[in-house]
Amino acid sequence: MTNMISPHGSKTLKPLLVDDAEHNAALTQQAEDLPSILVSSAAASNAVMLGAGYFTPLRGYMDKADALSVADTMHTTSGLFWPTPVLNLVQAAPEVGPGQKIALRDPNVDGNPVLAIMTLGAVERFTEDEFSAMTQKVFGTTDPEHPGVADFTSQGRVVLSGAIQVLNLSYFPTDFPDTFRTAVEIRNEIEKMGWSKVVAFQTRNPMHRAHEELCRIAMERLEADGLVIHMLLGKLKPGDIPADVRDAAIRKMVDVYFPPNSAIISGYGFDMLYAGPREALLHAVFRQNMGATHLIVGRDHAGVGDYYGPFDAQTIFDEIPDDALEIKIFAADHTAWSTKLNKVTMMREAPDHTKEDFILLSGTAVREMLGQGKAPPPEFSRPEVAEILIAHYKDQP
């Protein structure tokens, strides 16, 4: 057995999915007779992350005190390091009280099946001031134009807390059967590979040459045994490339350009928060839970627009207590193809370069090229990857 990194705040993973088939069937049956609520997509994706073990050691949704404490100090009231509130926010309080069970229905699956059963701990309400302060701390802004803020503030001010039993993992296993993996499954796969030093790469986009080389650079410098490319499969903002297209592009790149058995391609069921530094910390927590020892944190990690400084998501790791996380980060700079060196390099490692020495394309420029059926230059994007993306844009109205 390889010597694997411990899960966060626990000796063992604590997935909340009820995986015994008989027990699950009995609970699913029982859930039909319980009072039920349709939860937000964010609360549903929190349930999926709890079910899959990524949010170990949490046992369910946070109460108001924990949420405010996490926003303020990045610790729960009991002292557990945690960077973002994990909430079930609703518009109006249900007619049930503490100690009662309620069925949580999935907003993202036809027919809204029951996703989880919650034992209600408390029904509380945030004041507008509390909610605004929490939003500011987590997202660094309360600007309604920020996609994460817009989604968070639309979910209601009533907070339902309590332990949950997760009955299924929503649409992720059926929509992404080859890619969606629980933290348990990834740990098992890492163990099977015999890896002990494992680099995780977070992505919500297809991977271009710079991303591919960044993974290689990190693996070489850390002398890692393997790489886990871990893509977000949940809800994104309009204009982002859909998960199935991204999945196909990444698989093709690994297939053609990575040595066999050096990379695991997988994904997780969570809605993007776009919370920059705080979300980078959350990414580290659940990568530690899935068995990675290092997380690549690049420029503007998990950011959006100009809300965060380019390296805020790296420096926040210097601001947390040393014992907060076991996982370490690989701090990366912007990477691009150097026409001087004829290879991809990190910009800060090429001090004799000017901007003109790099092949740099904005996301908009790349989308325009692909939309016109043109492949970006091979120094920017692998031709096999560009082909998949061109096909996607050709089908767009």
> What is the rounded distance in angstroms from the CA atom of residue 215 to the CA atom of residue 253?
12
Residues 6+ apart with CB under 8 A from 356: none
Across 63-111, the runs of DSSP E, i.e. the strands, are 89-90, 101-105
pLDDT tier at 376, thresholds 50, 70, 90:
very high
Tell me what pLDDT residue 26 has: 98
Nearest to 278 by CA among 323, 317, 334: 317
Q: What is the pLDDT of residues 82-136, one digit of tens each?
A: 999 999 999 999 899 999 999 999 999 999 999 999 999 999 999 999 999 999 9
- The count of other CB atoms within 10 Å of the CB of residue 306 is 8
> What is the rounded distance in angstroms from the CA atom of residue 158 to the CA atom of residue 117?
18
Question: Edge-to-edge strands of the sheet including 358-359?
Answer: 343-346, 335-338, 358-359
Helix, strand or coil, per DSSP, at residue 263: strand
- Write out the catalytic residue numbers: 204-205
Instruction: Judge whether residue 362 has pLDDT over 90.
Output: no
Tell me what pLDDT residue 118 has: 98
Q: What is the mean pLDDT of the chain?
A: 95
- Residue range 38-54: average pLDDT? 98
Nearest to 47 by CA among 167, 155, 149: 167
- The count of other CB atoms within 10 Å of the CB of residue 323 is 7
Q: Which domains does the chain have, with CATH numbers?
A: 21-173 (3.10.400.10), 178-394 (3.40.50.620)
Tell me what pLDDT residue 340 has: 95
Q: Which helix or strand (DSSP H or E) is residue 345 part of?
A: strand 343-346
- Residue range 361-380: average pLDDT? 90
- The reported pTM is 0.95
* Bridge partners for 118 per DSSP: 102, 164
Nearest to 297 by CA among 319, 323, 276, 321: 276
Helix, strand or coil, per DSSP, at residue 35: coil
- The count of other CB atoms within 10 Å of the CB of residue 96 is 16
Nearest to 42 by CA among 166, 151, 169, 160: 151
Q: What is the pLDDT of residues 221-275, one digit of tens each?
A: 999 999 999 999 988 777 778 888 999 999 999 999 999 999 999 999 999 999 9
Instruction: Judge whether residue 185 has pLDDT over 50.
Output: yes
- The count of other CB atoms within 10 Å of the CB of residue 243 is 22
pLDDT tier at 1, thresholds 50, 70, 90:
very low
> What is the rounded distance in angstroms from the CA atom of residue 363 to the CA atom of residue 367?
6
- Residue range 313-320: average pLDDT? 97
Instruction: Judge whether residue 2 has pLDDT over 60.
Output: no
Phi, psi of 343 (to 5 degrees): -160, 170
- The count of other CB atoms within 10 Å of the CB of residue 259 is 7
| pLDDT over 70 percentage in the chain | 99
- The count of other CB atoms within 10 Å of the CB of residue 342 is 9
> What is the rounded distance in angstroms from the CA atom of residue 397 to the CA atom of residue 390?
13
- Residue range 202-207: average pLDDT? 91
> What is the rounded distance in angstroms from the CA atom of residue 183 to the CA atom of residue 15?
8
pLDDT tier at 397, thresholds 50, 70, 90:
confident
Angle of helix 383-394 versus helix 363-371 axis, rounded to 10: 70
> What residue has token string 């890492």?
190
Comparing 28 with 1, which gets the higher pLDDT? 28
Strands 335-338 and 294-297: unpaired
- The count of other CB atoms within 10 Å of the CB of residue 333 is 17
Question: Edge-to-edge strands of the sheet including 198-203?
Answer: 263-268, 226-232, 198-203, 294-297, 328-331
pLDDT tier at 290, thresholds 50, 70, 90:
very high
- Residue range 8-36: average pLDDT? 97
Tokens of 285: 């927590």
Question: Which one-letter amino acid corresponds to residue 372?
Answer: Q
Tokens of 216: 């290689």
